[in-house]
Amino acid sequence: MRDAFFRYLGPVNFTGTPPALLAVRLALVAAAHPRIIALAAGWAARTVRRVGPRRLLSRRIRPVSYVMHQFMDAADVTRAWELMQRGETSDEPRIRATQERLAACHYAMAHPENGTLVPACVQHGVLDPAENRALRTLLPVPAVPSRGSACRERRAGGEDPAR
């Protein structure tokens, strides 16, 4: 069910979309892929059996969104964005993967100078590095040793440096 959801409904933005527009989008997806109607009905039937109709009807539905951030290297974002602005796709796998992630990004923001919608990674990492430097002083991030460095120290010295 999860794979079908992402395959057919992955591009649909459920958050912040007016209900009427969301209904139209879902109807268009269902018209293009009628199989999802049977999949959704099966999922709904299993949910009702598992939870029970009384419990489902007596409680408020609370949608939940899960977001996983995978931060990208600013140098990769810079190269990928420059190519995307020229309509080019990189031959380098790492940059092409960055381009694909930027193209799929749903977290866009308006650039303050011209109002163009750009992925947040582009805004923060490419278009406004001075703001990032200012934020680093306003919101200092403590230096945290990587797990690898702690393991190397422990092996080299024979003792756990945290003890």
Mean pLDDT (the chain) is 80
pLDDT reading at 151 higher than 70: no
The per-residue pLDDT for 154 is 41
d(CA 30, CA 34): 5
Q: Which residue has the tokens 């989008």?
A: 25
The secondary structure of residue 113, as a DSSP letter, is T
Task: Tell me if the pTM is above 0.75.
Answer: no
Please give the C-alpha separations between residue 98 and each of 10, 82, 122, in angstroms, as whole numbers: 19, 12, 11
The answer to whether residues 111 and 120 touch, using CB atoms and an 8 Å cutoff, is no
Domain ranges of the chain: 2-58
Please, which pLDDT band fits residue 119 given cuts at 50, 70 and 90?
A: confident
Please write the tens of the pLDDT for every residue from 42-62: 999 998 999 888 888 888 777
